[in-house]
Chains A and B, each alone.
Chain A
Amino acid sequence: MSQSASTAQVAVAPAGAQLELPKKHYLNDGTTIRSWLLTVDHKRIAIMYLVGTTFGLLLGGIFAMVLRLELLTPGPTIIEALTYNRMFTLHGLVMIFMFMIPAIPGVFGNFFLPIMLGAKDVAFPKWNLTSYYVYLAGAALMLWGLITGGADTGWTFYTPYSTTTTTNIAPVMLGVFVIGFSSILTGLNFIVTIHTLRAPGVTWFKMPLFVWAIYGTSIIQVLATPVIGLTTLLVAAEHTFGFGFFDPARGGDPILFQHLFWFYSHPAVYIMVLPAMGVISEAICAFSRKNIFGYSMIAMSSLGIAFVGFFAWGHHLFTSGQSAFDAGAFAAISMLVGVFTAIKIFNWVGTLYKGAISFTAPFAYICGFLFFLVFGGMTGIALATVSLDVHWQDTYFVVAHFHFIMVGAVIMGFLTALHYWFPKMFGRKYPENWGLLAAGLIVLGFNATFIPQFLLGNAGMPRRYYEYPERFAALNVASTAGASLLAFGFIIIAIYLAIALFNGEVAGRNPWGSRGYEWDTPSPPPTENFDHPVDHTRIPHDYTDTEDVATVSHAT
């Protein structure tokens, strides 16, 4: 269905013209519930993922607030110990498996991967829909297990505690197993799409950098997730039947569990961060109106992170009694992974050089992302420095480090994507002033929440502590205050985005004037993604001319 405003000719909207939403687009192409539930359109599946993962983020955030409220005082505050232990398990599992792993690939990967490649859909649309339902099923099973009897093992469910605890962990383990399948299916779909459905002209080294990031992510998803699947099965079997794989009294080995668990869970953090890095690569070009500084390096470093990240898992076992040789090997490899991220940071900052920067809400999130990735990443390197980790392992320093990356980098990336691509996905603009305000609150709140936690770790406060010695009280209060600010920021975002969905100013095809491939289609796009043949011979984010792409459609 072609839009009235674009044909094969270059069409320019007269200045000041009232913009209208396209008449037919993917959102109103079929309005029955059935057309949504049985859709094979990757864009609709992306929206469904948005609903699911946002729900996960909300739940995980509520659990986090309960934890922080409990930690306001050194003794019991609002809940008791067993509830607290279940709460941090819930927080971790829900955040990681219902939000962090699926969100950016499932929402923005699904929506934009085909469009960026010039394809009409992903390689296997029905498996794409299946992956969403598998996600829902796994999430439901996991949540049901957590609510009825609830696991209290922490999301890392170390044995033998997890295999001997009286809480019912089998449904939780099975839920994680099922949700892992969703991750595998998504990754598989994306890899095949990138290999086989690139439009003519989109060569490997012309693909948008977001695609490279998704490619690296998908490789990790496909190769690493089966291992956690197996591990959860083993733990569930041992807990239910007393099998003794990991229980030393039955001849098993608890360290084997740690190796199997972290073999997935370390690459998993790259599943979480790589897509966010891809978003930043796109958005930083758009908002500084500049080509990316060092395309090949950023593309290759995504693959480098994916590959080398598989060999670094032992840095989670430095204090487990492993040999010094093992510790050294894993530490050295962890240093290598840090270099790939350093490359990206320098290249992103280099992109700003000689650019034309507009300070919008997405750009505010990019700034937050850069600072948090540098600081969080370097504290990761610090943790990999073995002797320092002896003091920091299992303390709040580690908690602060991974929250700097998971919230500071990944969630900033998610918010960047949400704001940058909101006009494309829904055809409307969000209110920019509220966007900037919320971004400020989030960056401020984030710092206030997690910097005290670095200091708590230095002071020696262990993780997963329900009660703590008096001397840690002040920093805990500071952290909780920050968390309230952070929560407030999220609530504001949810409100203005929800309102903008229906009442936002119509955005037009390309309100940012971005030269990413995805802006060549109408906003929102039609079901088949394109309303005209798109020229893919140009490289993405080429801003060397002054043509007004906001009102011009790039047609051949």
Chain B
Amino acid sequence: MQHSAAAQQLTPEGWLPPPPLPHHYDDRVSHANAVRFGMWLFLGTEVLLFAGVFTGYFTFRAYFPEAFDQAARHLSLFLGTLNTFLLLTSSLTVALAHHNAERGKNHNAFWLLVVSVLMGGGFLVIKGIEYHEKFVEHALPGKFFNFAEITAPGGPVFYVVYFFATGLHALHVIVGMSLLTWVAVRAWRKEFSPTYYAPLENAGLYWHLVDLVWIFLYPLLYLV
């Protein structure tokens, strides 16, 4: 990462020269390809992580269909849809930021990233509101469950799945927001150019995965 930004001169096009190529790569293109490939592999591992959670969801849904039905009706469809809208839009702004960074338009990229991070923050706030509701109602996992509205057996299990899935997802949202913030700072410093935009692209890929996981969670939990 560039630490000598102050000492670096902007190129005539308005961005910083790219950082030096690591010695074991032949050219910038192959380095960018390697980094992108590595990111896709890492996203693969995240997909498998969530696959386990979804396995649990489907297993318990098969065991306790009525409880899952009842519990789903007690989730706020409005808040869930709002969250979906926030994440989808933030994915769009991230993609636009990537588009701008590819052309060296760091200023635009920066503000698009800021909007994305704010939307991520909004997502977390709404999730917090939903969690708070659950705590108040005692609609909680395992031994803390005491929600009279769910009469069929399996209520505690639904909330185990719900809290684990959305909690793990929220953790990834926080990580994604941190990555986007870091890349936004670098955009502010005008580091991205047509020959160097891999960090933003990869942070964007991560954010798209976070969005994708939610796209699966939302219908399974809310739209049951």
| Contact surface of A with B, Cβ cutoff 8 Å | 114, 119-121, 123-125, 127, 184, 188-189, 191-192, 195-197, 222-227, 229-231, 233-234, 237-238, 241-245, 247, 250-253, 256, 259-260, 263, 528
Q: Is B4 an interface residue (CB 8 A)?
A: no
A-B contact pairs, 28 of them (CB 8 A): A114-B24, A119-B24, A121-B24, A123-B38, A124-B35, A125-B24, A189-B38, A192-B41, A196-B33, A197-B24, A226-B52, A227-B51, A234-B56, A241-B141, A243-B141, A243-B160, A244-B157, A245-B157, A245-B160, A250-B142, A251-B63, A251-B64, A251-B156, A252-B160, A253-B59, A253-B60, A256-B56, A263-B52
Q: Is B11 an interface residue (CB 8 A)?
A: no
Q: Cβ of B14: which chain A residues have Cβ within 8 Å of it?
A: none
Interface residues of B in 129-167 (CB under 8 A from A): 141-144, 153-154, 156-157, 160-161, 164
Contact-size category for B: 35 or more
Q: Are the CB atoms of A196 and B30 closer together than 8 Å?
A: yes
B38, closest chain A residue (CB): A192
B158, closest chain A residue (CB): A251
Q: Are the CB atoms of B38 and A124 closer together than 8 Å?
A: yes
Q: Cβ of A243: which chain B residues have Cβ within 8 Å of it?
A: 141-142, 160, 164
In Å, the complex CA distance between A259 and B134 comes to: 30
In Å, the complex CA distance between A247 and B156 comes to: 11
Q: Cβ of B142: which chain A residues have Cβ within 8 Å of it?
A: 238, 241-244, 247, 250
Interface residues of B in 13-39 (CB under 8 A from A): 22-25, 30, 33-35, 37-38
In Å, the complex CA distance between A484 and B23 comes to: 49
Which of B34, B52, B63 is the one whose CB lies under 8 Å from A231?
A: B52
Counting chain A CB atoms within 10 Å of each CB, which of B30, B45, B168 scores highest? B45
Q: Cβ of A184: which chain B residues have Cβ within 8 Å of it?
A: 42, 45
Least CB distance, B97 to chain A, in whole angstroms: 24
In Å, the complex CA distance between A252 and B35 comes to: 41
Name 20 extra pairs, CB < 8 A, besides A250-B157, A256-B59. Answer: A119-B24, A188-B41, A188-B45, A196-B30, A196-B33, A222-B41, A223-B44, A223-B45, A226-B48, A226-B49, A230-B52, A241-B141, A241-B144, A244-B141, A244-B143, A244-B160, A245-B160, A251-B60, A260-B52, A263-B52
B160, closest chain A residue (CB): A243
Q: A226-B52, A230-B49, A245-B56 are in contact. Are A191 and B41 (CB under 8 A)?
A: yes
Q: Cβ of A125: which chain B residues have Cβ within 8 Å of it?
A: 22, 24
Which DSSP category, helix, strand, loop or mixed, fits chain B's interface?
Answer: helix
Q: Are the CB atoms of A196 and B34 closer together than 8 Å?
A: yes
In Å, the complex CA distance between A244 and B64 comes to: 14
In Å, the complex CA distance between A71 and B46 comes to: 43
| Contact surface of B with A, Cβ cutoff 8 Å | 22-25, 30, 33-35, 37-38, 41-42, 44-46, 48-49, 51-53, 55-56, 59-60, 63-64, 141-144, 153-154, 156-157, 160-161, 164, 168
Least CB distance, A526 to chain B, in whole angstroms: 13
Q: Cβ of B46: which chain A residues have Cβ within 8 Å of it?
A: 226
Q: Are the CB atoms of A250 and B22 closer together than 8 Å?
A: no
Least CB distance, A317 to chain B, in whole angstroms: 14
In Å, the complex CA distance between A114 and B23 comes to: 13
Q: A241-B142, A242-B143 are in contact. Are A123 and B34 (CB under 8 A)?
A: yes
Q: Are the CB atoms of B23 and A250 closer together than 8 Å?
A: no
Q: Are the CB atoms of A227 and B49 closer together than 8 Å?
A: yes
Q: A192-B38, A244-B141 are in contact. Are A120 and B23 (CB under 8 A)?
A: yes
Which DSSP category, helix, strand, loop or mixed, fits chain A's interface?
Answer: helix
In Å, the complex CA distance between A114 and B25 comes to: 12
In Å, the complex CA distance between A225 and B48 comes to: 9
Q: Cβ of A188: which chain B residues have Cβ within 8 Å of it?
A: 38, 41-42, 45
A218, closest chain B residue (CB): B41
Number of A-B contacts (CB under 8 A): 114
A200, closest chain B residue (CB): B26
Q: Are the CB atoms of B157 and A251 closer together than 8 Å?
A: yes
Least CB distance, A540 to chain B, in whole angstroms: 21
Counting chain B CB atoms within 10 Å of each CB, which of A229, A230, A256 scores highest? A230
Q: A192-B38, A230-B52, A230-B53 are in contact. Are A222 and B141 (CB under 8 A)?
A: no
Q: A227-B48, A227-B49, A244-B141 are in contact. Are A260 and B157 (CB under 8 A)?
A: no
In Å, the complex CA distance between A124 and B51 comes to: 27
Q: Cβ of A120: which chain B residues have Cβ within 8 Å of it?
A: 23-24
Q: Cβ of A191: which chain B residues have Cβ within 8 Å of it?
A: 37, 41
B67, closest chain A residue (CB): A251
Q: Are the CB atoms of B24 and A251 closer together than 8 Å?
A: no
Least CB distance, A201 to chain B, in whole angstroms: 14
B51, closest chain A residue (CB): A227
Q: Are the CB atoms of B37 and A195 closer together than 8 Å?
A: yes
Q: Cβ of B44: which chain A residues have Cβ within 8 Å of it?
A: 222-223
Which 5 interchain pairs have the tightest Cβ spacing? Answer: A120-B24, A244-B142, A242-B143, A226-B49, A230-B52
In Å, the complex CA distance between A240 and B164 comes to: 14
In Å, the complex CA distance between A351 and B29 comes to: 41
Q: Cβ of A253: which chain B residues have Cβ within 8 Å of it?
A: 59-60, 63
Q: Cβ of A237: which chain B residues have Cβ within 8 Å of it?
A: 164
In Å, the complex CA distance between A364 and B52 comes to: 43
A224, closest chain B residue (CB): B48
Q: A241-B141, A244-B143, A244-B160 are in contact. Are A223 and B48 (CB under 8 A)?
A: yes
Q: Cβ of A196: which chain B residues have Cβ within 8 Å of it?
A: 30, 33-34, 37
Q: Are the CB atoms of B164 and A234 closer together than 8 Å?
A: yes
In Å, the complex CA distance between A226 and B41 comes to: 12
In Å, the complex CA distance between A355 and B30 comes to: 41
Q: Cβ of A227: which chain B residues have Cβ within 8 Å of it?
A: 48-49, 51-52
Q: Cβ of A223: which chain B residues have Cβ within 8 Å of it?
A: 44-45, 48
Q: Cβ of B157: which chain A residues have Cβ within 8 Å of it?
A: 244-245, 250-252
Q: Cβ of B52: which chain A residues have Cβ within 8 Å of it?
A: 226-227, 230-231, 260, 263
Least CB distance, B103 to chain A, in whole angstroms: 25
Q: Cβ of A238: which chain B residues have Cβ within 8 Å of it?
A: 142
In Å, the complex CA distance between A263 and B49 comes to: 12
Q: Are the CB atoms of B154 and A251 closer together than 8 Å?
A: yes
In Å, the complex CA distance between A60 and B59 comes to: 37
B52, closest chain A residue (CB): A230
In Å, the complex CA distance between A195 and B22 comes to: 17
In Å, the complex CA distance between A195 and B25 comes to: 13
Q: Cβ of A229: which chain B residues have Cβ within 8 Å of it?
A: 49
Q: Cβ of B49: which chain A residues have Cβ within 8 Å of it?
A: 226-227, 229-230
Counting chain B CB atoms within 10 Å of each CB, which of A189, A192, A233 scores highest? A192
Least CB distance, A122 to chain B, in whole angstroms: 8
In Å, the complex CA distance between A426 and B35 comes to: 32
Least CB distance, B163 to chain A, in whole angstroms: 8
Least CB distance, A249 to chain B, in whole angstroms: 10
Q: Cβ of A226: which chain B residues have Cβ within 8 Å of it?
A: 45-46, 48-49, 51-52
Q: Cβ of B141: which chain A residues have Cβ within 8 Å of it?
A: 241, 243-244
